[in-house]
């Protein structure tokens, strides 16, 4: 089995790569210098120069730079959308001929902010809402070829990005609102990604699977 993975250098991406490698998958995971997801032309050229086929495609690359609406530019929105959603479309589209023959799995790591909003996160929220909608349509259009397409929305995960964008006090606040009382580990997310993209998943399609320790069940905003 062969897998294409974006964002493999991040904490969650590294955990996903480790899990799939352990399960015997061959993994292609170009770094951002080789595959610049902020640049549609670069992505198009990469796909033209690297023709390949995959049973599983997982999008874990992400960009989140907090800023207020009054200070944002359209370029900020565009960059977040290109990295978090738009150019993933190009990657999936290139693999459709193989999917039509063999079926497979497509999964994008989204966010709770693909469902709700958050102060100072407009580009991220816009891109993740778009990502969720795109995967639902993939599920509709590719389902007839036995391609299961889903998003996985982590809650708060103990990653470098989380600690970069939130101080220790804020992280404690998050933990106090999570019924399980702690941030997720990257490996917790990787386990669910593997289930959704393995032979174990034969019928979950078009869903956003929230993995947040119970946060959205009642803690959000309280």
Say which residues have a Cβ less than 8 Å from residue 141's Cβ, sequence separation at least 6.
none
- State residue 50 phi and psi, 5-degree precision: -130, 70
Q: Say whether 74 is catalytic.
A: no
With tokens 């790569």, the residue in question is: 17
From 25, 63, 113, 124, active-site residue: 124
Is 1 exposed, middle or buried (CB count within 10 Å of its CB: 0-12, 13-18, 19+)? middle
Residue 48's H or E segment, with its range, is helix 40-49
- Give the strands of the sheet with 26-28, arranged side by side: 26-28, 2-6, 56-59, 104-109, 147-154, 208-211
Residues annotated catalytic, as ranges: 124
């Amino acid at each position: 089995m062969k897998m294409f993975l974006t964002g493999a250098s991040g904490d969650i991406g590294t955990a996903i790569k480790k899990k799939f490698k352990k399960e015997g998958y061959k993994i292609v995971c170009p770094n951002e210098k080789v595959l610049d997801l902020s640049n549609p032309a670069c992505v198009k050229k990469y796909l033209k120069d690297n023709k390949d086929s995959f049973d599983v495609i997982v999008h874990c690359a992400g960009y989140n730079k907090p800023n207020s609406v009054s200070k944002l530019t359209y370029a900020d929105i565009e960059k977040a959308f290109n990295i978090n959603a738009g150019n993933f479309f190009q990657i999936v589209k290139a693999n459709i001929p193989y999917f039509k023959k063999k079926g497979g799995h497509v999964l994008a790591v989204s966010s709770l902010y693909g469902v709700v909003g958050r102060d100072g996160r407009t580009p991220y929220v816009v891109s993740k809402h778009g990502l969720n909608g795109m995967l639902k349509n993939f599920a509709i259009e590719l389902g007839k070829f036995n391609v299961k397409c889903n998003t996985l929305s982590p809650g708060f995960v103990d990653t470098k990005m989380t600690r970069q964008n939130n101080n220790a006090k804020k992280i404690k606040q998050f933990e106090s609102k999570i019924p399980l009382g702690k941030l997720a580990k990257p490996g917790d997310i990787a386990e669910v990604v593997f289930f959704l993209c393995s032979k174990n998943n034969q019928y979950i399609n078009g869903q956003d699977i929230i993995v947040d320790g119970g946060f959205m069940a009642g803690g959000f905003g309280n």
